[in-house]
Amino acid sequence: MSQVTASLVKELRDRTGLGMMECKRALAQSEGDIDKAIEDLRKSSGMKAAKKAGRTAADGVVAFRAEAGYGLVLEVNSETDFVARDEGFQGFVNTVLDAAYSAKQTDVATLMVGGLETERQELVQKIGENISPRRASSIEAPVVGGYVHSNSRIAVLVGLSGGSEELAKDVAMHVAAVNPAVVNSDDMPADLVAAEKEIFAAQARESGKPEEIIEKMIAGRVAKFLKESSLVDQPFVKDPDTTVGKLVKAEGAEVLSFVRFEVGEGIEVEEVDFAAEVAAQVQGASN
């Protein structure tokens, strides 16, 4: 049996980025054959990735690419913010974004078949956290621009009928900050309007005023709700004296669509009692 030397362990660590003990075990099993150790580790990466796949990945980053009338935004999740800042993780995000953008593919399951999934599994093994490309969306329009917040937790794409990419970026920045529900008030889903109207009606009737006054109060509150929730009617964040709609119209353009991704939105994160978890592990180890 070949001796597993410190230099061999170091070389395997440098080539794989894995921990010392894992490298030492792999070399012992391969009898010091470093190439076989790497092959064995790669074979086991799928199993290790699967074990981590059940853990909630609600952190991560969002990223976008936009040029020549087409833009795509992507979210890739990790379990912690620490890993989201890791160079290897960010490199993987860029690789997935490149592939999605080139193929104009927003179906993440389809995108990840093949080499990208292998790369994901290897990164899971190296980093030790579940990593999951979660979703992608795209916009095609005469002009497409985007904005990503400096911490890479919010990304927005905006499609315009005219104007410039810089204008689209400004509108995207507004969307990132204010988070409108729709482009125009007419786009608001009828069931959502009805639900808000019901709430306003209940509030208005508590006033005890005549029904005709109440109806006017309800209509006024619904109109205010629609105005505050619609992108084109909102005061522009950089210049509250004008609305987004007026800003865009002044440059001969119109907002056609937008998409806004925020890291982890909609993911239910299980609350973990770390003290209880540690106690359970200690109890299990003692049995």
DSSP lists the bridge partners of residue 275 as: none
Report the relative pairing of strands 154-160 and 70-78 from DSSP bridges. Answer: unpaired
Q: How many helices (H) and strands (E) does the chain have?
A: 12, 8
Q: Which of 127, 155, 145 lies closest to 61, judged by CA?
A: 155
Give residue 269's pLDDT: 64
63, pLDDT greater than 70: yes
- Give the amino acid at 11: E
pTM over 0.85: no
206-246 pLDDT, tens digit per residue, is 878 888 888 888 899 999 999 999 999 999 999 999 999 99
Listed range (10-14, 221-225, 239-243, 251-255) with the worst mean pLDDT: 10-14
Which CATH topology does 59-187+230-262 take? Tetrahydropterin Synthase; Chain A (3.30.479)
pLDDT, mean of residues 30-50 = 76
79-100 pLDDT, tens digit per residue, is 988 989 999 999 999 999 999 9
In this structure, how many other beta carbons lie within 10 angstroms of the beta carbon of residue 145? 26
Q: Which CATH number fits domain 6-52: 3.40.920.10, 1.10.8.10, 1.10.10.60, 1.10.287.3510?
A: 1.10.8.10
114-166 pLDDT, tens digit per residue, is 889 999 998 998 888 889 999 999 999 999 999 999 889 999 999 999 999 99
